[in-house]
Amino acid sequence: MKGHELSETAIAGTLAEAGDVWAPHRSLLGWVASVDHKQIGIMYMVAALAFFGLGGIEALLLRIQLAVPHNNFLTPETFNELFTMHGTTMIFLVAMPLLTGFTVYMVPLMIGARDMAFPRLNAMSFWLQVFGGVMLYFSFFARGAPNAGWFSYAPLSESAYSFGSAQDYWILSLLVMGIGTVAGAINVIATVATLRAPGMTMRRLPLFVWMTFVNSFLMLMALPILNAALVMLLIDRTLHAHFFTPATGGSAILWQHYFWGFGHPEVYIVILPAFGIISEVIPVFSRKPIFGYEFVAASTVAIAFLSFAVWAHHMFAVGLSDTFNLFFAFASMSIAVPTGVKIFNWTATLYGGRLRFTTAMMFALAFLVMFTVGGLSGVSFAVVPIDWQLTDTYYLVAHLHYVFFGGTVLASFAGIYYWFPKLTGRMLSERLGRWHFWLTFVGLNLTFFVQHLLGMMGMPRRVFTYPDLPYWGALNMLSTVGAFVLLAAVLVFAWNLVFSLKHGEAAGDNPWEAWTLEWATSSPPPVDNFTRVPPVRGRRPLWDLAHPELADELRSRAA
């Protein structure tokens, strides 16, 4: 008996020592050398937020230049560099890594796994992302940043028109990040396919995991398209080849097909995980399971397939044949259907729920409205004649910002307020959160709604200044004021993050009384995530645990 006790103590001691060995190394080296999905996820998000600051500063400089007619705040050359870098940054260095950060942090926790399937590959993906971003920004010190726009249309992006190395930095940086993204997508799919906890069937996966799982297939299929196009452009520029140079027989249109062949799936790549966040936040703060789980998951698969058949709606003004335009107009309208299905699912989840208006929920609700506005202006672009009238105007700029800012960014804010307690063990301040929310909501609509009107009045995008036409100056000034309201919102948010990290209210394991597995462990979770994964017998394991008599499984059997 005594010997038995002794050995148990010895084992406990050994375990404690082992725990020390595996304890997170919070030193700088501990972060840099980490292969822990939680540390890597946080690093992804921190890097993305840092670049969000840079991209935001670029946007503010653009808005200052456009505040009044005939402005000379920026030179045309600088203006071109700034809008190129703003677009590239926000897509590749903010939206993608921020959502990837959520993904690599949350997916293993939500499926009850210890880590990703390939932890070292995970670290490689992250560092490729970081160094790709650094390489892009290094171009500022190497005789100027790229200035051919975020889609770098040929032949403008060819060596005859973009001399110097700026465009090559752009290509190489996107290539490096693209390889990292493909590796990350493989990792997520392998994780979900092989590391689910017992009982976690595909029909019980949290919807955030479903979205990122489908999204990884999108990345796997779409990023190689970009990589191939980038390689061809690079070969054109460095080895004097002729892929996209019309002067020597190449085709500028082929670049457009290739770029948008990637570029439209990309639009869904930066929105599907956002849909996933919304599908977690809305049910928890409505105190109801999601309405039509299967429809949310299946419509995502439909979106993924359709997203590869709509690219040429970016090219209606090119002068392709009518048949071609008709096909892509039809396909683009039909992709609005599965997206609309989701909006109905979320709205129906709210209906009759006991709503809790936390900051996370406020952002999720604002997402529903703002994303719908962006979706509707998007459908209007699927109508070819409307597209001919409005393409490359500020109407387009308004549309894409309602989708990216009103969609991806608002959902990411919702996700940050929702999961910050899990990541740090502390709550974000709800009071500052209110300020952050309302400033964002007002700033967003002030900045971008008026751009619809400017576009319909004919103001083209990417002009560095404009003549003093009726209303143009006033509307542009409103838009610039809105941009500064957004700056205030971001500053409040940054302060909230920094302040709450040290002084926030202690969160506990499950502050929102949520139902998915990440809330079953401590906040922040231990290195190996779970001491014991709760049994998974339904879609809401923690609900089943707390209310065994009302378990989802029993109810579905009774029904």
Partner 1 sequence: MLSRGKLAMALFIVSEANFFALLIIAYAYYHALDSSGANGAGALDVVTTLRYSLCLFASSATLWVAERNLRRQEYRGLIYWLLATIALGAIFLYGQGREYARLFSSGITISRNLFGTTFFTLTGFHGLHVFLGLSALATLFWYAVRGRLRQHQTEAVEAVGLYWHFVDAVWVVIFGVVYLGSLL
Report how far residue 100's alpha carbon sits from residue 81's, in angstroms, rounded to the nearest whole number.
27
Of residues 144 through 173, those in contact with partner 1 by CB under 8 A are none
Question: Would you state the torsion angle of the CA atoms of residues 414, 418, 422, 423, taken in this order, to the nearest 10 degrees?
Answer: 20
If one counts every other C-beta atom within 10 angstroms of the C-beta of residue 389, the result is 15
Tokens of 12: 């406990």
Q: Work out whether 201 is an interface residue with partner 1 (CB under 8 A).
A: no
Report the residue number, 227 or 516, with the smaller CB distance to partner 1.
227
Rounded Cα gap, residues 331 and 413, in angstroms? 31
Shortest approach of partner 1 to residue 115 CB, angstroms?
Answer: 12
Dist CA 48 CA 283 (whole Å) = 27
Q: Binders of partner 1 among 257-286, rule CB under 8 A?
A: 258
Minimum CB distance to partner 1, residue 301 (Å):
16
Minimum distance, C-beta of residue 286 to partner 1, in the bound complex (Å): 36
Q: Measured between alpha carbons, how far is 371 from 411 in angstroms, rounded to an integer?
A: 10
Residues 360/283, Cβ–Cβ less than 8 Å: no
Angle at 117 (CA atoms; ends 187, 230), nearest 5 degrees = 15
Residue 24 vs 224, nearer CB to partner 1: 224
> For residues 61 and 190, which CB has a smaller minimum distance to partner 1 in the complex?
190
Neighbours of 41 (CB within 10 A): 25
Closest to partner 1 by CB, 236 vs 387, is 236
Is 23 or 231 the residue whose CB approaches partner 1 more closely?
Answer: 231
97-136: which residues touch partner 1 (CB under 8 A)?
117-118
**What are the beta bridge partners of residue 177?**
none
Nearest to partner 1 of 54, 228 (CB atom): 228
Closest C-alpha among 419, 415, 429 to residue 523: 419
Q: Any idea which residue has 């599907």 for tokens?
A: 272
Smallest separation, CB 507 to partner 1 (Å): 33
Give the total of residues touching partner 1 (CB under 8 A): 33
User: Which one of the spans 81-89, 184-192, 313-321, 518-526 is the region binding partner 1 (CB under 8 A)?
Assistant: 184-192
Nearer to partner 1, 194 or 321 (CB): 194
Contact predicate 229/262, CB 8 Å: yes
CB closer to partner 1, 254 vs 432: 254
- Closest CB 168 distance from partner 1, rounded Å: 17
Positions 204 through 223 that interact with partner 1 (CB under 8 A): 220-221, 223
Q: CB nearer to partner 1: give 44 or 255.
A: 255
Total count of residues recorded for the chain: 559
Q: How near is the Cβ of 248 to partner 1 at its closest, in Å?
A: 7
The tokens of 191 are what?
């994780």
Smallest separation, CB 176 to partner 1 (Å): 15
Contact with partner 1 (CB under 8 A) among 45, 62, 94, 189: 189
Nearer to partner 1, 184 or 511 (CB): 184
263-300 burial, b for 16+ CB within 10 Å, e for fewer? bbbbbbbbbbbbbbbbbbbbbbbbebbbbbbebbbebb
**Binding residue (CB under 8 A) for partner 1 from 24, 224, 353, 460:** 224
For the bound state, the minimum distance from the C-beta of residue 153 to partner 1, rounded and expressed in Å, comes to: 17
Query: What is the SS3 string spanning 467-522?
Result: CCCCCHHHHHHHHHHHHHHHHHHHHHHHHHHHHHHHHCCECCCCCCCCCCHHHHCC
CA distance 415 to 420: 8
Q: State in angstroms the smallest separation of the CB of 91 from partner 1.
A: 20
Binding pattern to partner 1, positions 225-254, x when CB under 8 A?
A: x-xxx-xx--xx--xxxxx----xxxx--x
Contact range with partner 1 by CB under 8 A, out of 187-195, 314-322, 370-378, 466-474? 187-195
* Nearest distance, CB of residue 76 and partner 1, angstroms: 32
Write out the two tokens for 275.
């849909």
Give me the 487-526 binding string for partner 1, x by CB under 8 A, dash otherwise.
----------------------------------------
| C-alpha torsion angle, residues 86, 92, 93, 98 (rounded to 10) | 120
- 429-468 residues near partner 1, rule: CB under 8 A: none
Beta strands in 330-440 (DSSP E): none
Q: Which residues of 482-497 are buried (b: 16+ CB within 10 A; e: fewer)?
A: bbbbbbebbebbeebb
Return the residue of 61, 68, 190, 487 that touches partner 1, per CB under 8 A: 190
Q: Which residues bind to partner 1, rule: CB under 8 A?
A: 117-118, 182, 185-187, 189-190, 193-194, 220-221, 223-225, 227-229, 231-232, 235-236, 239-243, 248-251, 254, 258
